[in-house]
Amino acid sequence: MRVVVDTSRCVGHGMCEAAAPDAFEVNDDGYVTVDHAAVTNLDDAVARAAVAACPSAALSLDPES
């Protein structure tokens, strides 16, 4: 399962970073940056929690990956 980030929707709430700090970080500009290796290795439950926590729906899951 892969987490997909739509950076155009991100408003920098940081909820994804709180749910999975090794995978997501809100940068100095206020937008999410992604550690792709860490995101790829996220536990499914953690990935789902990060996606669910995003108030701007900038994250989604791609179950085919």
Domains annotated for the chain, with CATH where assigned, are 2-62 (3.30.70.20)
For residue 31, the model assigns a pLDDT of 85
Amino acid at 46: V
For residue 65, the model assigns a pLDDT of 61
SS3 content of the chain, % helix, strand, coil (to 5): 30, 20, 50
Question: In sequence order, what are the residues at sequence separation of 6 or more whose Cβ sits closer than 8 angstroms to the Cβ of residue 10?
Answer: 31, 32, 56, 58
For residue 17, the model assigns a pLDDT of 93
Q: Which two tokens stand for residue 43?
A: 């536990």
Alpha-carbon distance values, 2 to 5, 30, 59 (Å): 10, 23, 10
pLDDT digits (tens, 9 = 90+) for 10-52: 999 999 999 999 999 998 988 888 888 888 888 889 989 999 9
